[in-house]
Amino acid sequence: MTERWSRAAIAELFDLPFTELVFRAAEVHRANHPANSVQRSTLLSIKTGGCPEDCGYCNQSAKHSTDLGASKLMDVRAVMQAAAQAKDNGSTRFCMGAAWRNPKDRDMPDIVEMVKGVRQMGMETCMTLGMLSPGQAAMLADAGLDYYNHNIDTSPEYYDRVITTRTFADRLDTLDHVRSAGINVCSGGIVGMGETRGDRVGFIHALANLPTPPESVPVNALVPVKGTPLGDMLADTPLAKIDDIEFVRTVAVARITMPDSMVRLSAGRESMSEATQALCFLAGANSIFTGDKLLTTGNAGDDKDAELFHKLGLTAMGVEEQSNVVAG
């Protein structure tokens, strides 16, 4: 397959003067998306903790010594109640995440019911359940799942510094299964894990050169959690937290290289200033997670987001607008 973006070209974007980069990203964004319109999504942990993977950033791993306990898969009715509340609070997309290496076949009937139930409420649906088999992806597609999230996390070169229990190729296999089933792909990663700018270039390069770029690209800033390898290593290191300007650069480069994708500000946003978030929106971010929690870490909250939207003159994207973005 012909490479859409070379690493050299992506590195040149990162190296542009900051204002030039943001200006270019804003131009690309406005050519492909409605200006000043931002999608609001809610993320619910439907099965928390006890995961056998060893992702260095995650407090849900059974291999890490955190205060988080393990729980069973939520009851379908409880998930529907949470979805209804999210819709009442203005979310148009409901994302459900389970701390699994991969779902068991016995879990799939309840998962399918959750997807169908949320869709009946008129919201977009997204699931993140770990690795999927082709058959499981087909079941989710038949249920009407709109998006499946499976992040590549970082560059191929830095990946094994973060995770050892599954490979970068494993991640790509699941994305292939999801795409083959006809489900939209949501895939991004985390910055601020001790990686270099070269790794951020490699991260964007891997996403932008997938056979079809992801329709949704979440960009997370690491939230160091005590008891996780990366949290313990980076929590007291002042230089570990990614610089705000470098974070905005990453958002801008993602927007330029993946012009049709929704670019989402995800974890880490609760610690960003309003000015940094405003720069991210200018640079092409057009989706956020709202609510008080993202799986197990804190988030800004609905009221704070409403104030920010008012201050910046942003409007919440409707489901019809979202559909047009994907269709286009």
Known catalytic residues?
51, 55, 58, 95, 126, 186, 264
C-alpha to C-alpha distance for 105 and 103, rounded to whole angstroms: 6
Q: What DSSP state is assigned to residue 27?
A: H
Question: Any alpha helices (H) in 71-214, and if so which ranges?
Answer: 76-88, 108-120, 134-143, 168-180, 197-208
Q: Quick one: tokens of 323?
A: 């559909």
Q: Which helix (H) or strand (E) holds 23?
A: helix 18-32
Dist CA 44 CA 94 (whole Å): 8
- How far is the C-alpha of 288 from the C-alpha of 93, rounded, in Å? 10
Tokens of 182: 């006809």
Closest CA to 284 of 263, 270, 267, 269: 263
Can you read off the two tokens belonging to residue 103?
A: 């779902």
- Amino acid 87 reads K
CA atoms within 13 A on the CB side of 124: 29
